[in-house]
Chain A
Amino acid sequence: MSVAVKLTNVVKRFGELEVLKGVSFEINSGEVVALIGQSGSGKSTALRCINQLETIQGGSIEVCGHRVEDPKLDVRALRRDIGMVFQSYNLFPHMTVAQNIMLALRRVKGMRKDEAYEVAKPVLAKVGLSEKIDSYPEQLSGGQQQRVAIARSLAMQPKVMLFDEVTSALDPKLTGEVLRVMEDLARGGMTMIVVTHEMGFAKRAANRVIYMHTGKVWETGGADILSNPQTPELKEFMAEEL
Chain B
Amino acid sequence: MFGAFSTNHLIYLLDGLLWTVILSALAFLLGGIAGFFVMLARISRFRWLRRVALVYIQIVQGTPLLIQMFILYFGLGVFGISVPPLAAAGLGMMVYTSSYLGEIWRGAVGSIAKTQFEAAECLGLTRWQALQDVILPQALKIATPPTVGFLVQLVKNTSLASVVGFLELTRAAQVINNSLFQPFLVFGVAAFFYFCVCYPLSAWSRSLERKLNVGRR
* A108 closest partner in B (C-beta): B124
CB distance from B117 to the nearest CB of A (A): 9
Whether B78 sits at the interface, judged by CB under 8 Å, is no
State in angstroms the CA–CA spacing of A83 and B119 once bound together: 10
CA–CA, A138 to B120, complex, Å?
18
B116 touching A51, Cβ below 8 Å: no
A79 and B121 contact, Cβ closer than 8 Å, known pairs A107-B129, A107-B133: yes
A90–B115 CA distance with the chains assembled, in angstroms: 6
Q: Bound complex: CA of A94 vs CA of B215, how far in Å?
A: 10
Query: Are B125 and A92 in contact, CB atoms less than 8 angstroms apart?
Result: no
A86 touches B119 (CB 8 A): yes
* Inter-chain contacts of A86 with B (CB < 8 A): 115, 118-119
B124: chain A residues at CB < 8 Å are 76, 79-80, 104, 108, 156
Which B residues touch A40, using CB under 8 A?
Answer: none
Contact B126 A76, beta carbon cutoff 8 Å: yes
State whether the Cβ of B47 lies closer than 8 Å to any Cβ in chain A: no
Q: Please tell me if the beta carbons of B129 and A90 are within 8 angstroms of each other in the complex.
A: no
Q: What is the size, in residues, of chain A's interface with B at 8 Å between Cβ atoms?
A: 24
Which residues between 179 and 209 of chain A lie within 8 Å of chain B, taking CB atoms?
Answer: none
A90 x B138 contact (CB < 8 A) = no
What A residues does B125 contact at CB under 8 A?
A: 103-104, 107-108
**How far is it, in angstroms, between the C-alpha of A107 and the C-alpha of B120 when the chains are bound?**
11
How far does the Cβ of B118 sit from chain A's closest Cβ, in whole Å? Answer: 6
Cβ of B11 under 8 Å from chain A: no
Contact of B122 among A83, A103, A138 (CB under 8 A): A83
Q: B118 near A90 (CB under 8 angstroms)?
A: yes
Residue A73 is within 8 A (CB to CB) of chain B in the complex: no
A90 to B137, CA, bound (A): 15
Q: How far is the CA of A84 from the CA of B141 in the complex (A)?
A: 27
Q: Tell whether A144 is near chain B: CB-to-CB under 8 Å.
A: no
A152: CB under 8 A from chain B? Answer: yes
The yes or no answer to A93 lying at the interface (CB within 8 A) is yes
CA distance A86 to B122 in the complex (A): 10
Question: Known: A92-B134, A103-B133. Contact between A108 and B123, CB under 8 A?
Answer: yes
A53: interface (CB < 8 Å): yes
In residues 122-156 of chain B, which contact A (Cβ within 8 Å)?
122-126, 129, 133-134, 137-138, 141
Check if B123 sits within 8 Å of A90, measured CB to CB.
Answer: no
Closest to A48 in B: B118
Report the bound CA distance from A82 to B137 in whole Å.
26
Contacts of B45 in A (CB 8 A): none
A79 close to B122 (CB less than 8 A): yes
How far apart sit A80 and B133, CA to CA, in the bound complex (Å)?
Answer: 18
Within 8 A of B (CB), among A213-228: none
A82-120 interface (Cβ within 8 A of B): 82-84, 86, 88, 90-94, 103-104, 107-108
- The minimal Cβ–Cβ distance linking A122 to chain B, given in whole angstroms, is 18
Docked CA distance A173–B9 (Å)? 75
Docked complex Cα distance between A149 and B121 (Å): 14
Contact with A along B89-112 (1 / 0, CB 8 A): 000000000000000000000000
Closest B residue, CB atoms, query A105: B123
Beta-carbon nearest neighbor of B130 in chain A: A107
In the bound complex, residues from chain B placing their C-beta under 8 Å from that of A90 are 113, 115-116, 118-119
CB proximity of B109 to chain A, nearest CB, Å: 14
**Contacts A94-B138, A103-B133 given: A152-B115 contact, CB under 8 Å?**
no
Bound-complex Cα distance A38 to B169 (A): 67
Cβ contacts A to B, 6 pairs, < 8 Å: A79-B123, A79-B124, A86-B118, A90-B119, A91-B119, A104-B120
Known: A86-B115, A138-B217. 7 other contacts (CB 8 A): A80-B124, A86-B119, A94-B137, A104-B123, A107-B129, A153-B122, A156-B123
Binding site for B on A (CB under 8 A): 51, 53, 76, 79-80, 82-84, 86, 88, 90-94, 103-104, 107-108, 138, 149, 152-153, 156
B-side residues, CB < 8 A to A, are 113, 115-116, 118-126, 129, 133-134, 137-138, 141, 217
